């Protein structure tokens, strides 16, 4: 189904009357289908819409060193008809686009980063458009957009607005390093430095739930571990430093998270296998343990769909005796969901806000 921002773009389809557009983070895989007659590029920072747009890739395996070596930012790319789709945290190319449209992200710092990237990628005299839900902060989005040119409101409907900004000056090349932030953590006397980009969960600080999970993870873990929904790679990195014999893989839907994880690993003298996937869809490797502070929000509304499907898939990937360790807000209905799939579920720790669960497959 077309998302509300895409419906607004569709009302303004006449804007898309020539090749050379860059679409950044479309909220669905369908709007770009409406532009199949045009040669356009699409940058996806989220693997779910990328995989749906290119229709063939269930999961992509990446090496943390390759991720940091990439000059262009591209993790994976695929041509579909006249469209070039990129899965990447950023794009740096000598190409300059005539027009760029950005779907407004949730976090302001993420939006600021996208504006800086778009300003670098657009031709002098070209336009950057921003489309987003009014309650998602389009008003303040307009102010930030004004930092690169004059802003006009093009249209507003479906509780969304479409803004246009003509960029009259050239802007410097985009440098992702300007947006990386670092912070140190210390759990059970193990230190680590965490790197994270805007748009990544707990950007610039450790989440209390993640901290509780890390404090309660047993030191008896052996074999392979999946850090599911790894964000900046905090859980897997700290585990690897505490228990170097573990073989840890890191999975997230977000290219920003995977890039941050690769940077976190480097900061701590580590390397690792990273997986871009939507939930555990397309993952067939087995793990002895899965550890996670899972996602439960998509968009502005609360949504447990990913977690429910994840719990069922986790049980499929764990061998008999394998464990899922998970932290969640204590008011979320996870004991019931875990109990539907796992034979034994126990609470390892609880605070006023969070619970750490261990679910064992017998």
Ligand X SMILES: C[S@@+](CC[C@H](N)C(=O)[O-])C[C@H]1O[C@@H](n2cnc3c(N)ncnc32)[C@H](O)[C@@H]1O
Residues that bind ligand X (CB under 6 A): 48, 201-202, 207, 210, 229-231, 234-235, 252-254, 257, 278-279, 293, 295, 306
In the complex, what is the shortest distance from the CB of residue 208 to ligand X, in angstroms, rounded to a whole number?
10
Nearer to ligand X, 146 or 312 (CB): 312
Nearer to ligand X, 145 or 257 (CB): 257
In the complex, what is the shortest distance from the CB of residue 252 to ligand X, in angstroms, rounded to a whole number?
5
In the complex, what is the shortest distance from the CB of residue 322 to ligand X, in angstroms, rounded to a whole number?
19
In the complex, what is the shortest distance from the CB of residue 145 to ligand X, in angstroms, rounded to a whole number?
25
Nearer to ligand X, 155 or 207 (CB): 207
Nearer to ligand X, 144 or 257 (CB): 257
CA 105 to chain centre: 11
Report the residue closest to ligand X, judged by CB: 231
Nearer to ligand X, 25 or 161 (CB): 25
In the complex, what is the shortest distance from the CB of residue 214 to ligand X, in angstroms, rounded to a whole number?
9
In the complex, what is the shortest distance from the CB of residue 295 to ligand X, in angstroms, rounded to a whole number?
3
In the complex, what is the shortest distance from the CB of residue 292 to ligand X, in angstroms, rounded to a whole number?
7
Nearer to ligand X, 92 or 196 (CB): 196
Nearer to ligand X, 126 or 236 (CB): 236
């Amino acid at each position: 189904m077309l998302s509300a921002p895409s419906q607004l773009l569709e009302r303004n389809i006449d804007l898309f009357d020539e090749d050379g557009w860059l679409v950044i983070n479309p909220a669905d895989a369908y709007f770009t289908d409406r532009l199949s007659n045009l040669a356009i590029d699409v940058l996806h920072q989220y693997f779910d819409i990328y995989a749906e747009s290119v229709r063939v890739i269930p999961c992509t395996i990446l090496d943390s060193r390759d991720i940091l070596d990439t000059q262009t930012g591209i993790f994976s790319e695929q041509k579909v008809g006249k469209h070039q789709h990129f899965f990447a945290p950023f794009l740096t190319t000598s190409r300059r686009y005539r027009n760029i449209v950005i779907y407004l992200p949730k976090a302001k710092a993420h939006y600021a980063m996208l504006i800086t990237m778009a300003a670098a990628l657009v031709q002098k005299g070209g336009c950057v458009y921003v489309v987003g839900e009014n309650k998602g902060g389009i008003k303040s989005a307009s102010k930030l957009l004004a930092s690169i040119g004059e802003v006009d409101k093009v249209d507003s409907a479906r509780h969304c607005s479409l803004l246009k900004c003509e960029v009259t000056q050239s802007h410097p090349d985009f440098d992702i390093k300007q947006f990386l932030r670092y912070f140190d953590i210390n759990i059970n006397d193990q230190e680590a430095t965490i790197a994270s980009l805007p748009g990544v969960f707990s950007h610039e600080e450790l989440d209390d739930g993640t901290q509780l999970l890390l404090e309660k993870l047993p030191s008896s873990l052996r074999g392979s571990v999946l850090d599911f929904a790894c964000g900046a790679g905090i859980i897997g990195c700290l585990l690897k430093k505490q228990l170097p014999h573990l073989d840890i893989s890191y999975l997230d839907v977000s290219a920003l998270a995977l890039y941050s994880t690769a940077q976190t690993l480097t900061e701590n003298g580590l390397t690792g296998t990273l997986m871009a996937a939507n939930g555990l869809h397309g993952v067939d490797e087995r793990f002895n343990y899965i550890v996670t502070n899972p996602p439960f929000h998509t968009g502005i509304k609360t949504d447990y769909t990913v977690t429910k499907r994840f719990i069922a898939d986790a049980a499929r990937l764990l061998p008999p005796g394998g464990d899922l360790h998970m932290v969640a807000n204590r008011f979320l209905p996870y004991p019931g969901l875990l109990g539907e799939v796992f034979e034994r579920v126990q609470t390892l720790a609880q605070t006023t806000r969070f619970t750490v669960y261990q679910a064992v497959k017998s």
